[in-house]
């Protein structure tokens, strides 16, 4: 018999909702904590920059039992995703499980000596403690702003300049007539540069450090979901855990794989005009594909062409008066600087002694299946297995985690198995696939199928693949199909 536990879910974004549903469904007592006034995480309206839209097509960015509405566009806008998440919470009556405006200040082993954790919670100014048998950490990779500054910034601000983090750009009216400099080359940087140009900025400069491969929504006229998300494609990247025999077999089609990726690169260079903008990356695309691979903001290269946005490869050296001095020697006049330099990955509320067990000196996380660590019992991560279809990844790992917590995985891993797997994955990231080290190694893309196969196998799913082998090899992960696979796992209920 599985004993009913009291579970804390920290975070009310995509992953917190998935975790709350998975644990509640199995009969546990769930209390969710969200520090903001609303659900949604990165999609919460006051945190979204104008015109934000998904990178994933809508049928790749949804829960297994809840498709996005038919009238949504292929790549829904931020407010539509936010409304979708609310409709999911409503469908599964998840609001009753959450306390909003509740910030977790710290997380330590239970003070009463029982297994589990004591959370210190700030509920709208009222600080108190509560004990839990298990904690699902769902605070994502975008919760602590990466704030950087450069020499001269204070004087720049004193003389009327503005410096903001990308997530604080919520009002396009602020760009009207302004000289804008965006620091960064990620999707949020290009989104904001294009948006500022569209909203009357006098001049927009995008200062970025490295050339990276960018994928347009349509590659050679074909929606990228039909090209990049296939099991057949995924097998061409250097995956983890290959036996010596599998390595030999994988070597046979290498010339074809090489030709395939060179073909894709040529197509991207031609379609986007990368050579003209001196934006051809040095790294082969198959080595770079990971969660940080940006999708091209619509209108980006057109804005370069029209002069509405000027790209400069370099970074900031310092501010001087109303100018930003770049490492290239360029001086750019600025009224507003947008720092699109991302987020600090971390779990600041977890006591340092536990973080030391979890995070290696080079920032890599020690997690089994991107969720649990044998030195940190009674806790696990949901959504730290980010991907190109993070809602599905979060739901898959939430379902895995509840079974892990209940000792109900068909293959419940021993400490030794987890440790061996963690070491193998660290070694693979460091030696064979450096791109997989992004976000502390917490990214399952582009290995969606392999990751899901492992989770389903652990859970004892009777079905793991679609009946049609061609569909299984040559089409993207289907959320409804994964719903069926999850339903084929052994079921139980905590009492
Ligand atoms: C602009 C943008 C576009 C994106 N587009 C895509 C896409 O197309 N496809 C895709 O797969 N992914 C995309 N992502 C990645 C995205 O982060 C994930 O898809 C997903 O939304 C992450 O959800 P989450 O719940 O794990 O984390 P978050 O959405 O970050 O939610 C974490 C929640 O935890 C709360 N929290 C943090 N600390 C505490 C605390 N101490 N106490 C209480 N609550 C706390 C936060 O307030 C937040 O609500 C995008 C991200 C951004 C920023």
Q: Please tell me the predicted confidence (pLDDT) of residue 404.
A: 98
**Domain final residue, candidates 341, 376, 392:** 341
Q: Please, are residues 102 and 9 in contact by the beta-carbon 8 Å criterion?
A: no
What span, in angstroms and rounded, lies between the C-alpha atoms of 142 and 41?
9
What span, in angstroms and rounded, lies between the C-alpha atoms of 389 and 382?
14
Are 321 and 357 members of one domain?
no
**Domain final residue, candidates 281, 316, 341:** 341
61 lines ligand 1 (CB under 6 A): yes
Whose CA is closest to 180, among 57, 318, 310?
310
Are 349 and 222 members of one domain?
no
The pairing of strands 379-381 and 134-137 is parallel
Supply φ then ψ for residue 349, to 5 degrees: -85, -10
- The strand order across the sheet containing 331-333 reads 316-320, 323-326, 331-333
Are 166 and 99 members of one domain?
no
Q: What is the pLDDT of residues 315-363, one digit of tens each?
A: 999 999 999 999 999 999 999 999 999 999 999 999 999 999 999 999 9
CA of 139 from ligand 1 middle (Å) equals 7
53 lines ligand 1 (CB under 6 A): no
Cis (ω within 30 of 0) for the bond into 446?
yes
Q: Please tell me the predicted confidence (pLDDT) of residue 305.
A: 95
Q: Which of helix, strand or coil describes residue 454?
A: helix
Q: Is 322 exposed, middle or buried (0-12, 13-18, 19+ CB in 10 A)?
A: middle
103 lines ligand 1 (CB under 6 A): yes
Which stretches of 60-151 are DSSP H helices?
A: 78-91
Q: Please tell me the predicted confidence (pLDDT) of residue 354.
A: 97
- Residue 348 Cα: closest atom of ligand 1: 41
Residue 492 resides in a domain: no
Return the number of other C-beta atoms located less than 10 Å from residue 357's C-beta.
Answer: 12
Residue 173 resides in a domain: yes
Residue 213 resides in a domain: yes
Q: What is the pLDDT of residues 181-215, one digit of tens each?
A: 999 999 999 999 999 999 999 999 999 999 999 99
Residues 6 or more apart whose Cβ sits within 8 Å of residue 67: 58, 59, 479, 480
Whose CA is closest to 334, among 153, 171, 485, 495?
153
Nearest CA to ligand 1 atom 17: 42
Nearest CA to ligand 1 atom 12: 390
As a whole number of angstroms, the longest Cα–Cα distance in the chain is: 70
224 lines ligand 1 (CB under 6 A): no
Nearest CA to ligand 1 atom 41: 104
The CATH number of the domain holding residue 16 is: 3.50.50.60
CA of 138 from ligand 1 middle (Å) equals 9
Are 395 and 443 members of one domain?
yes
How far does the chain reach from its first CA to its final CA, in angstroms? 7
CA of 492 from ligand 1 middle (Å) equals 30
Residue 495 resides in a domain: no
Nearest CA to ligand 1 atom 28: 41
385 lines ligand 1 (CB under 6 A): no
The two structure tokens encoding residue 94: 């998840």
Are 191 and 328 members of one domain?
yes
118 lines ligand 1 (CB under 6 A): no
Are 56 and 174 members of one domain?
no
The two structure tokens encoding residue 84: 């979708």
What span, in angstroms and rounded, lies between the C-alpha atoms of 495 and 492?
10
The residue segments making up the domain with residue 231 are 154-341
Q: Please, are residues 369 and 397 in contact by the beta-carbon 8 Å criterion?
A: yes
Are 185 and 270 members of one domain?
yes
Residue 313 resides in a domain: yes
Are 165 and 212 members of one domain?
yes
223 lines ligand 1 (CB under 6 A): no
390 lines ligand 1 (CB under 6 A): yes
Residue 296 resides in a domain: yes
What span, in angstroms and rounded, lies between the C-alpha atoms of 16 and 32?
7
Are 468 and 349 members of one domain?
yes
Are 298 and 406 members of one domain?
no
Residue 60 resides in a domain: yes
What span, in angstroms and rounded, lies between the C-alpha atoms of 255 and 277?
30
Residues 6 or more apart whose Cβ sits within 8 Å of residue 22: 395, 398, 399, 401, 402
- Looking from the CA of 162 toward its CB, the CA atoms found within 13 Å total 14
What span, in angstroms and rounded, lies between the C-alpha atoms of 351 and 111?
14
Ordered per-residue pLDDT tens for the chain, 495 residues: 999 999 999 999 999 999 999 999 999 999 999 999 999 999 999 888 888 999 999 999 999 999 999 999 999 999 999 999 999 999 999 999 999 999 999 999 999 999 999 999 999 899 999 999 999 999 998 888 998 999 999 999 999 999 999 989 989 999 999 999 999 999 999 999 999 999 999 999 999 999 999 999 999 899 999 888 889 888 888 899 887 777 777 777 788 888 889 999 999 999 999 999 999 999 999 888 888 889 999 999 999 999 999 999 999 999 999 999 999 999 999 999 999 999 999 999 999 999 999 999 999 999 999 999 999 999 999 999 999 999 999 999 999 999 999 999 999 999 999 999 999 999 999 999 999 999 999 999 999 999 999 999 999 999 999 999 998 999 999 999 999 999 999 999 999
42 lines ligand 1 (CB under 6 A): yes
CA of 472 from ligand 1 middle (Å) equals 29
Whose CA is closest to 74, among 223, 280, 270?
223
Q: Which of 143, 445, 448 to mutate to test the pocket of ligand 1 (most atoms within 8 A of CB)?
A: 143
Are 377 and 427 members of one domain?
yes
Any idea of the CA torsion for 442, 443, 447, 450, to the nearest 10 degrees?
Answer: 30
Are 131 and 16 members of one domain?
yes
Nearest CA to ligand 1 atom 20: 14
Q: Is 399 exposed, middle or buried (0-12, 13-18, 19+ CB in 10 A)?
A: buried
85 lines ligand 1 (CB under 6 A): no
139 lines ligand 1 (CB under 6 A): yes
Q: What's the number of domains the chain is made of?
A: 2
Residue 138 resides in a domain: yes
- Residue 384 Cα: closest atom of ligand 1: 26
**Domain final residue, candidates 319, 341, 363:** 341
């Amino acid at each position: 018999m599985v004993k009913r536990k009291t579970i804390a879910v920290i975070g009310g974004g995509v992953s917190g909702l998935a975790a709350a549903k998975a644990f509640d469904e199995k009969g546990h007592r769930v209390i969710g904590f969200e520090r903001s006034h609303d659900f949604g995480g990165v999609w919460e309206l006051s945190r979204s920059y104008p015109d934000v839209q998904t990178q994933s097509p809508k049928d790749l960015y949804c829960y297994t039992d809840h498709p996005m509405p038919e009238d949504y566009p292929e790549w829904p806008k931020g407010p539509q995703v936010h409304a979708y998440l609310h409709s999911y919470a409503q469908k599964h009556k998840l609001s009753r499980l959450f306390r909003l405006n509740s910030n977790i200040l710290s997380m330590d082993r239970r003070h009463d000596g029982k297994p589990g954790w004591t959370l210190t919670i700030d509920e709208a100014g009222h600080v108190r403690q509560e004990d839990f048998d298990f904690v699902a950490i769902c605070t994502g990779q975008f919760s602590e702003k990466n704030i950087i500054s450069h020499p001269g910034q204070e004087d720049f601000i004193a003389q009327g300049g503005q410096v903001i983090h990308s997530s604080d750009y919520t009002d396009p009216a602020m760009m009207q007539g302004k000289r804008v400099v965006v620091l960064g080359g990620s999707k949020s940087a290009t989104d904001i540069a294009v948006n500022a140009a569209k909203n009357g900025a006098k001049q927009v400069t995008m200062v970025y450090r490295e050339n990276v491969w960018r994928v347009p929504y349509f590659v050679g006229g074909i929606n990228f979901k039909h090209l990049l998300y296939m099991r057949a494609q995924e097998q061409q990247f250097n995956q983890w855990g290959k036996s010596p025999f599998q390595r030999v077999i994988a070597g046979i089609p290498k010339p074809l794989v090489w030709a395939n990726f060179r073909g894709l690169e040529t197509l991207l260079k031609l379609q986007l005009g990368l050579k003209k903008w001196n934006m051809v990356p040095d790294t082969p695309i198959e080595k770079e594909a990971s969660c940080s691979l940006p999708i091209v903001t619509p209108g980006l290269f057109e804005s370069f062409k029209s002069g509405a946005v000027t790209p400069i490869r370099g970074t900031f050296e310092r501010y001087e008066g109303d100018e930003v001095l770049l490492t290239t020697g360029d001086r750019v006049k600025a009224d507003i600087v947008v720092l699109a330099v991302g987020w600090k990955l971390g779990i600041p509320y977890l006591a340092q002694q536990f973080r030391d067990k979890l995070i290696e000196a080079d920032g890599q996380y020690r997690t089994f299946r991107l969720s649990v660590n044998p030195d940190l019992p009674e806790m696990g991560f949901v959504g730290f297995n980010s991907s190109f279809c993070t809602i599905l990844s979060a739901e898959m790992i939430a379902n895995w985690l509840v079974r892990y917590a209940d000792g109900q995985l068909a293959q419940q891993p021993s400490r030794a198995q987890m440790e061996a797997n963690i070491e193998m994955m660290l070694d693979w990231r460091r030696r064979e696939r450096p791109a997989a080290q992004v976000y502390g190694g917490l990214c399952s893309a582009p290995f969606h199928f392999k990751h899901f196969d492992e989770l389903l196998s652990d859970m004892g799913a009777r079905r793991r693949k679609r009946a049609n082998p061609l569909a299984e090899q040559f089409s993207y992960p289907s959320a409804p199909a994964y719903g069926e696979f999850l339903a084929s796992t052994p079921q139980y209920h905590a009492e």
